[in-house]
Amino acid sequence: LHYTITVKNTGNVYIGSVVVTDPGADSGSIAYVSGDTNSDGRLDPTETWIYSATHTSTQGELNSGSFANTATVTGVPAGGNLNPASGSETVPALQLPSWTVTKVAAEPNFDQAGDVLHYTISVDNTGNVYISNVIVTDPGADPGSLVYVSGDNGDNRLDPDEIWVYTATHTVTQGNLDAGYYQNTAIARGTPAGGILPQASGTEEVPALQLPAFSLTKTASESIFDNAGD
């Protein structure tokens, strides 16, 4: 963020020893630009001095939705009393929450009822603010098999660029084999620091290796025959 700080002498005597401070500005970034028209180092009546400053935004400021800071000027007047003057500015953050869910099966296919499919579910924060209260569901997973594995830095929030990894399983049924594939979807829901965040989902389809086969055996009750009409 690039700031312009304007200091104007609205009184009737000069002000010396002018100092501008801003605790929210980047270290060393406050710089005098112009305004001392007679170069006497004093802020004369009606003179306006211009300063510039910068602030490098942080993730916390994005999460909070804005950054506010205050510049303060102090000085010594030629006479009388002069209190410090200040000016504040608030810059809103453009919060852009977004995320993706990817689901991948370890097995390329299945061929028996009772086979177990092993899934890896990755939830990636692709936005610029954190997401809290993250809940991942998968109605097709075996009950109790969907578990968090890794990715959180310990704050229990899905931060920008973090990827949380979950695992889950599904036990194949005869119906899955007969259908020729098994498809299921993992869904993530959460609350962003700001903005609107729809749920995200990832779907994986695993084909069935269908191996139809049957046999026919024919057996006569009689071991021999010996008459026409038998």
What sign for the dihedral angle of Cα 35, 36, 41, 43? negative
Question: The whole model's pTM is what?
Answer: 0.86
pLDDT in tens, 81-120: 999 999 999 999 999 999 999 999 999 999 999 999 999 9
Pairing of strands 131-137, 2-8: unpaired
* The length of the chain, given as a count of residues: 230
Looking at residue 221, what DSSP letter applies?
Answer: S
Q: What is the pLDDT of residue 121?
A: 98
Contact 3, 20 (CB under 8 A): no
Question: Residue 136 CA to chain centroid, in angstroms?
Answer: 15
- What is the structure's pLDDT at 42? 97
Residue with tokens 């009822």: 113
- Output the CA torsion 153→157→162→164 (10° steps): 90
